[in-house]
Amino acid sequence: MKSLLFQLPSAQNGIEMVPTKTFDVTFTAVAFTANLLKTLSALAVLLLFFSLTCVPASAQLAATPPMGWNSWNHFGANVSDSDVRAAADALVATGLRDSGYIYVNVDDGWQGKRTESGELMPNERFPDMKSLADYVHARGLKLGLYSSPGPLSCAGNEGSMGHEDIDARTFAQWGVDYLKYDICSYRKILERDAHRNPEIAQRMMFAVFERMHLALQATGRPIVYSVSQHGLSLGWAWASQVGANLWRTGDDIHDNYISVTEIGFAQGGLSKFAGPSHWNDPDMLEIGNGGLTSDEGRTQMSLWSLLAAPLLAGNDVSKMDSDSLAILNNREVLCIDQDPAGHQGDRLWTEGPLEIWARYLTGGAIAVGLFNRNQGYIDMPLDLRLLGLTSVVKVRDVWKHKDLPPFQGSKTFLVAPHGVVLLVLHR
Ligand code: GAL
């Protein structure tokens, strides 16, 4: 069994905690001590790997929804190498890494110009991408990068169009473990060439996203492939066929309750498209960015976990209040998100602003979220018959970290304004 979500570092995925070449002619006591320390830290990682359990180990890429951090929501296009290093350090220091937040993803804003031979260089805020990757890997984390199938990214930086192979090779050489590939300027090409014909648009999109998948595959490096086509052309129905491990199901998220819930509650019906190594992506987390109350943050975290969504913290994790950290780092909630069966949840019941969503978990447990989208406190009923449950169930409230009295039939739960009660039911 592996740690709650911690992935085993290996030479294959580029995380080399232990040098392969340990002794050579320059061997000294200092080198020996350094190597010993590295070996001990690798052992510590291994111990962690075997001590915390929630998800069984899997060699499969994105076997459970990817977790980590992404620079966009907080730093935008001005992100820098030092922001990313600080985020990596903070993931370790806060314990988020050990809870499974292992991807450190640099979004739009790292790209510079191409060399004469077509190689894409980082801009002046990223002096050495390989050294950044080494820094991230040395902390038991993985590095993500961003590009676009169009000529330009959404922020107007260099895209990968016509340079897919060389870019994929560059990313692999740097040690990149995750690529977000964002449609951006390719939308204009679709408008120009698809002549408003949805079939042509879908074929074109399929082709460009598959091209990068093949280029990544040709590098031989396992790289999680995140397709960001904003839900266009019903991407959920075909994105796994272009090798995507996750794909966006809608437009950009913003740091407010309306945006989070408009996106989150629009995910109904998509559960059948998700599963291990291929996930619906309702976009990144906004917890800790200042625009959500604690109840609203718990709403995003609960809904995303019921949706088996990728969990990419979008805040400045190096300056986080304790409440945001507690929301991001609730392991009982993370266990729902990372449930190894990978069955995405769906809407069970709705009445005006009240919503109940449920997700079937490994071993017969059921996670249930009661969401109150209203402005006042409400007593919400949960009728177990909606879940086909006729006998007594045991109930765990995962935000309160408390077992509630078992019940049968129907029971009401008090739900805060814009809040949620998230339960795990055991038969
Ligand atoms: C958008 C994307 C955002 C972010 C941004 C960068 O298209 O949805 O998540 O990546 O581009 O410019």
Q: Are 248 and 230 in contact (CB under 8 A)?
A: yes
* CATH assignment at residue 285: 3.20.20.70
Q: Is 81 a catalytic residue?
A: no
Q: What is the domain count for the chain? A: 2
Minimum-distance ligand 1 atom for the alpha carbon of 107: 10
Can you give the pLDDT at residue 83?
A: 98
- From 89, 134, 165, 252, active-site residue: 252
C-beta 186 within 6 A of ligand 1: no
Alpha helices (H) along 176-270? 186-193, 198-219, 257-264
Residue 76 lies in a domain: yes
Residue that the structure tokens 């917890």 belong to: 287
| 309 and 363 together in one domain | no
Residue 19 lies in a domain: no
d(CA 294, CA 326) in angstroms, rounded, equals 10
Can you give the pLDDT at residue 56?
A: 73
Can you give the pLDDT at residue 53?
A: 56
Residue 13 lies in a domain: no
- From 98, 108, 177, 182, active-site residue: 182
C-beta 184 within 6 A of ligand 1: yes
Residue numbers of the chain with a pLDDT score lower than 50: 1-52
Domain boundary among the residues 337, 370, 390 is at 337
| 210 and 271 together in one domain | yes
| 322 and 351 together in one domain | no
User: Ligand 1 mean position to 182 CA, how many Å?
Assistant: 7
d(CA 213, CA 244) in angstroms, rounded, equals 8
Can you give the pLDDT at residue 225?
A: 98
Distances (CA, A) of 196 to 27, 143, 192, 199, 200: 66, 37, 9, 9, 8
Residue 27 lies in a domain: no
pLDDT digits (tens, 9 = 90+) for 332-376: 999 999 999 999 999 999 999 999 999 999 999 999 999 999 999
Minimum-distance ligand 1 atom for the alpha carbon of 153: 12
234 alpha-carbon distance from chain centroid: 20
| Nearest alpha carbon, ligand 1 atom 1 | 154
Report residue 66 as tokens.
Answer: 């990817």
Distances (CA, A) of 249 to 229, 274, 307: 8, 11, 12
Domain boundary among the residues 319, 337, 355 is at 337
Residue 11 lies in a domain: no
Residue 213 lies in a domain: yes
Q: Is 182 a catalytic residue?
A: yes
Domain boundary among the residues 292, 309, 337 is at 337
Minimum-distance ligand 1 atom for the alpha carbon of 248: 8
C-beta 72 within 6 A of ligand 1: yes
Q: Global pTM?
A: 0.88
Domain around 402: 346-426
Distances (CA, A) of 376 to 258, 347, 412, 419: 16, 22, 16, 10
Residue type (1 letter), 327: I
User: Ligand 1 mean position to 110 CA, how many Å?
Assistant: 13
Determine the residue of 147, 228, 230 to mutate for testing ligand 1's pocket, defined as the one with the most ligand atoms within 8 A of the Cβ atom.
Answer: 228
Can you give the pLDDT at residue 59?
A: 79
Across the strands, what pairs with 345? none
| Nearest alpha carbon, ligand 1 atom 8 | 252
C-beta 108 within 6 A of ligand 1: yes
Residue 36 lies in a domain: no
Can you give the pLDDT at residue 46?
A: 41
Residue type (1 letter), 386: L
d(CA 199, CA 208) in angstroms, rounded, equals 15
d(CA 217, CA 211) in angstroms, rounded, equals 10
